[in-house]
Amino acid sequence: MGIGQRSRRRIAGVLAATVPLVLGVVFAAPSSATPPNEHPEETTGATVQARPADTDHSPNIEHLANLPKQAPFDNLDSIGTDIAFKGDHAYVGNYDGVVVYDIAKPEKPKVLTQIVCPGGQGDVSISGNLLFVSTDYPRTNDSCDSQEADSADPQAWEGMKVFDVSDPAKPRYVSAIRTDCGSHTHTLVPDKAGEAVYLYVSSYGPSAEFPNCQPPHDKISIVKVPLDNPAAPELVDAPVLFPDGGNPGVPDGIRETSGCHDITVFPERDLAAGACMGDGVLFDISDPAKPKVTEQVRDDENFAFWHSATFNNDGTKVVFTDELGGGAAATCNSRVGPHRGANGVYDITGSGADAKLEFRSYFKLPREQADTENCVAHNGSLIPVPGRDIMVQAWYQGGVSVWDFTDSAQPQEIAHFDRPPFDPNELQLAGSWSAYYYNGHIYSSGIQEGLDVLALNDPRTDPAKDVRYEEFNPQTQPVHAG
């Protein structure tokens, strides 16, 4: 997520509410989900608006459950973000920490515990018993009891944290490591020997005034975490991806490239796709410690901010998203049109060092949204349907969309779930940040709405219900059988 330019502080000017930071680790009592026909304000421990009864959804999507944000995250400033899955648990990032959900019964999810550890975005991934969490705002130190720090302070800390979740109900803080410009997002890459994981850390927003985030910052950070000694993460490289400086940007238009926003890896194909602000790139990750850029594309006519990427199952296509307006603007309307703030579908032609990205089409949410709804293409994942390219995707207050890009030139929406405006009178930051398909259900992390669980019932996607993963990090794409 961009939310305009990357702030070195907590989204000033976007959210009106300011609340005191709650420090330490909170173990919340389990809270049950709200059944679709009840009101979330009746759920113990939550302070939220009642869920509107006139939610718009296609006939092939069923809303199974909503579990509102729980205290101390039940406020506008505690933004729900990305999701990682392990067994019967979903780990949902938050600007103030992480929420661990028990999803053994998808129609009745429960909050198992909450890690209160402020630091911005809280991007998450999981490997075995280790949970990795991004910190993207400068803090006084690397603990969960830190305070907000000044970006100009050379002693300020931001980067990656590691938790042991052997017992998901009792996460244990293990270690941390500083990275330049912090960690806006990160991507987990397993090593081929199974002895360690690499974290590709994406960050941006450098300034000459920030001693730990100096321009030009045309790089990512690569952290290696030994699985048998997670207390000793190591910064092994910080490769410069854009020796020419990348896209110079256009005032009030295309963002200048000063790092990457997010990277999706496809380890079984030795591929990665980077969404790097003004540039879209392909990597060869046959050596995960030394990713190599093999292709670089731009769309200076329509793409303002290359935000994220998703491969198809064959590794022959990439969907890039454009987060026009940084996620805080109303862009799903006729004034903006169908090509900006959309997905770009690219075919990968050739292979290896000769692979090229060939543009085929745009796909944008086909329903116009109100001017009080922030709406733009955001995080999604492939639905594991053999022989077809179908993904589910979050569009903030545009809701959740399921769309088919098997024909790269003619993508089509096949299902949707869309709430009315969070506030019909004022543009507020809200809606689905991430929507992913995991073991037969769609899980949506709402910025303000908490966790939604959806059932997709459609003959085109029903085969995916038989696909099961023990672990799923959406930005570490698996190959599904079939």
Average confidence (pLDDT) over 13-22: 28
pLDDT tens figures, 351-378: 877 889 999 999 999 999 999 999 999 9
Domain ranges of the chain: 40-472
Specify whether the CB–CB gap between 300 and 344 falls below 8 A. Answer: no
pTM, two decimal places: 0.91
Q: Give the Cα separation of 397 and 332 in Å (integer).
A: 10
Q: Give the Cα separation of 115 and 89 in Å (integer).
A: 14
| Higher-scoring residue by pLDDT: 47, 470 | 470
State the CB neighbour count (10 A cutoff) for residue 10. Answer: 18
Residue 361: strand, helix, or coil: strand
| Higher-scoring residue by pLDDT: 91, 15 | 91
Q: What are phi and psi of 63, to 5 degrees?
A: -85, 105
Query: In sequence order, what are the residues at sequence separation of 6 or more whose Cβ sits closer than 8 angstroms to the Cβ of residue 9?
Result: 137, 148, 151
Q: Is 71 exposed, middle or buried (0-12, 13-18, 19+ CB in 10 A)?
A: middle
Which pLDDT band holds residue 99 (cuts at 50, 70, 90)? very high
pLDDT tens figures, 384-426: 999 999 999 999 999 999 999 999 999 999 999 999 999 999 9
For the chain, the residue count is 482
pLDDT tens figures, 149-200: 999 999 999 999 999 999 999 999 999 999 999 999 999 999 999 999 999 9
Q: Give the Cα separation of 117 and 16 in Å (integer).
A: 21
Average confidence (pLDDT) over 29-39: 36
Asked whether residue 39 carries a pLDDT value surpassing 60, the answer given is: no
Fold entry, domain 40-472 = Methylamine Dehydrogenase; Chain H (2.130.10)
237-240, long-range: CB < 8 A, 24+ apart: 237/289, 237/290, 238/180, 239/290, 239/291
